Structures are given as C-alpha cells and as structure tokens.
Amino acid sequence: MKDLTTGKEAKLIIRFATPMLLGNIFQQLYNIVDSIIVGNVLGKQALAAVGASFPVIFVVISLLIGVASGTTIVIAQYFGARRLEQVKKAMDTFYIFAFFASLVMSALGIYFSEDLFSLLRLPAEVLPQAKTYLHIILAGIIVFFGLNGTNAILRGLGDSRTPLFFQIGATLGNIGLDLLFVMVFHWGIAGAAIATVLAQGIALIVAIWYLNKYHKLIRISLFGMKFDREIFRKSIRIGLPTGLQQTFVALGLMALMGIVNTFGTDVIAAYSVAGRIDSLVQLPAMNFAAALATFVGQNLGAGKPERVKHGLIATLLMSSAISLTITLLVQLFPSQLMGLFTKDASVIAIGRQYLVIVSMFYIIFSAMFSINGVMRGAGDTLVPMFITLVALWVIRIPSAWLLSRHMGVIGIWWSVPLGMSTGFILSFLYYLTGRYRNKVVVRKEEPRLRPDNGTSSGEG
C-alpha cells in the first residue's frame, strides 16, 4: 500500500504509474499475441474475426468497468482518509456485485451475439470464427473481472507493484497456451480464446491465494463478505457515469465497426491490427492518468487540494514527452509494425494509412486523459462522460460516416483526431472552472461511520 499524500508529486506519480503501465502492457499483450498468432497462422479472415469481436466484448463489460472504477476511487479516498474499515467494506461490496453482474452480462452477450454481428454487417466469411471467439471469451468474463477488479482495488490502495506480477504471469501463460493450442493442437481461433480465458483463470487463483495469505487488508472468500448499500451507492454515484460513458463508447465503437465493415475483410483486418497498436502506444497516457486519479483521490480525501495542480502539471509533462517519442517511432516504422501481425500487402498498406494519420495526435490524447484523471480522482465523472459522448457521437461517428462517403476509408481514419481534439478542448475548458473540487465523496474531516449508524449491510 502506498501513501500518495506526502512527498514530491512527480516522483510519486511516476513510481506509482510505472508498475501499473508495465502491468497493462502485459495485459495488452493478451490481445496482441492473439492477433499476431491468429494473423500469421490462421490468416486475415481469422484476424478480422478477432477484431470484429472486440466492440461486442467492450459493450458487454463496459458498465462493469465503470462500477469498478467508481469503487477504486472510493477506496482511494477512504484510504487517504485512513478509514480502513470502510476500505474493507468497499472491497467486499465490489466483489459481490462483480460476481453476479458478470454472470448476467456473459449470458446476455452470448445470447445476443449473432444479432449484434448482424447489426454490424459483418461479412459472411468472417462470422463463424467471430462467433466462436466471442462466445468463449464471454463465457470466461467472470475471471476477467475477478483478476482485473482485484488489480484495480490494489491500485486504489496505492499498490501498483503487486498487480504487475499477477499480469506478467497471466500474459506469459497466455502466450504459452496460445502457441500450444493454436500451433501444436491446431484448435484454430477457439484455441486462442481458450488460452486467454484459461490464463486469466489461473492468474486469478494465484492472486487469491497470495492476497489471502500475505495482504494486510484484502481477504477474498465466497463466505463472510458483506454487501454495503451505502458504499455501493457512493461507488455507483462515481462509477455509473463512467460505466455509461464506457457503454456509449462501446456502442460508438460498434457503430464505427459497422462503417468499417462495409469496406470488406482487408479493411476490417487492417483496422483490427492498427487498433491493437493504437491501444498499446496509448497505454502510457492512460496509465499516467489512472495514477493521477488515485493521487488526486488520496490527496482530496486527506484534505490536501493544493497538491492536485502540481500533480497534473507533472503528469502532463511526463506523458507528453512519452507521447511525442511514440509518435516519432510510429511515423518512422508504420509498415514494420503492421508487418508483425500479417504479411498481406493490402492489409499492411491500409493499416499504415491509419497509423500515420492518428499517431500525429497522440499528444492531444495524452493531455485529455490527464485532465480527465483529475476529475475522476475527485469523483467528478458525469461531465467527462458527456464530453466523451459529444466527442464520439457528435463529432467522430458522423464525420467518419460523412468523410468515408467522399474520401473512402481514409475518411474514417481522420475522424479519430477530430474526436480527440474535441474531447481535449472541452475537458480543458471544464477543468479551468474548478467545479470538480465539489464532487469529493470522502473527506478527512467526515466523521467515522459506525456499523450501526444507518449503513445498511446484507450478507453476500
């Protein structure tokens, strides 16, 4: 556990962000390894199937991700206020919610998968493999939330190192199982999906054993957990806007996928690969922002708002320097990056166009995420939700449709920086108002709650 309320802001944030960044790089390697092996062994149709499945998976998990993020902020603020009993209750509440919610969302996703793919106008030659991959991933979504929820809780407590080890183990396991199931057993695209679920399940079992044995606060057990409705209400208050934002973002990605799908299998495969690269290179900005959110949550919970501005400036400088470096590398080697996933010349050429255009705006993306990290750390998630929805649904999707009619597929690629720039401008203008400071849900001076003071709990 790490106290982020004392010490030099830049040093604290970079030390906290680095293990988290490494952990998320390894997490992204799940998708990257799947795509590299699928693209090189099974071909571009299988590669397109994996890419087409992602927006559907995102729709299923997006609301749960939002609630998890709300719980993380509540835990960070309780920990900053040194209210450890409430920290334990918040963890119990999250695990109970995640268990039942993931079962429901998994069942719904599998049941409606074919309808969703039809809505996306997925080409017929890609559909069978896409369904196979999606069904296996959704069947194992409960272990995804178990592992990633545990990692999110640890980060809320200021511990970004332990999740790194869990994620490294899961990723290495996934790589080994991918090679075994796809290249040795020849299970096809089903093998790639089974490898991902099995690797996460094994990592979750190891995480539960380790934390129950060695951690001071976290005890994961199906028995003895209690669901606290007041803490859940606070988590929902913070997390629901983020969850709704993620849901509408996921639906937006589905809408964009529907536009991409009209251009055929080569474009779908190229968009899939470019998206994987995009997700990886944007990780530094996203993880610095996540570290900043925990930093802000702890400091506002501890009654130290003056440290927030210094933390934001430090984060902007660090993430911008990294973003400019990554932009240079992507601009110099776009074809080589695409070539890791496929040898198909048409797919490489199309993906190269995407990377050259979008990478010029990575610094805008990093600045937007840093500013939103301050607002989320304070518990102000409603306004960022609306900003994201405006950037996606008012700017990016309509411009993707309109520009693609006149410019072809390259018009879809230009819609990405248009959406990013809009989100940055609106986020920066809202940050200047300072209204996010009024959204803190836990303060140090708030009286300590007793178990019998009206907080409702039930057996989980």
Residue 241 pLDDT exceeds 70: yes
* pLDDT given at position 413: 96
354 found inside a domain: yes
Please report whether residue 446 resides in a domain.
no
- Residue 365 inside a domain? The answer is yes
pLDDT tens, position by position, 205-223: 998 888 888 887 777 777 7
Asked whether residue 379 is assigned to any structural domain, the reply reads: yes
* Contact assessment for residue 99 and residue 128, using Cβ atoms and an 8 Å cutoff: no
Residue 445 counted as domain residue: no
Of residues 190 and 66, the one with the higher pLDDT is 190
Continuous segment of H or E residues that includes residue 259: helix 229-261
Domain count for the chain, please give it. Answer: 1
pTM of this structure: 0.74
pLDDT of 454 higher than 70: no
pLDDT at residue 450 greater than cutoff 50? no
Q: Residue 15 falls within a domain, yes or no?
A: yes
Model pLDDT for residues 166-208, shown as the tens digit of each residue: 888 888 898 899 999 999 999 999 999 999 999 999 999 998 8
Q: What is the residue range of 286's domain? A: 9-437
Amino acid at 56: V
Alpha-carbon distance of 317 to 47, in angstroms, equals 37
State residue 456's pLDDT score: 39
The per-residue pLDDT of the chain, averaged, comes to 86
Give strand pairing partners of 228: 457
Residue ranges of E strands in 257-383:
none
Residue 37 covered by a domain: yes
pLDDT tens, residue by residue, 358-412: 999 999 999 999 999 988 888 787 788 889 889 999 999 999 999 999 999 999 9
DSSP code per residue over 143-181:
HHHHHHHHHHHHHHTT--HHHHHHHHHHHHHHHHHHIII
Within a domain: residue 2? no
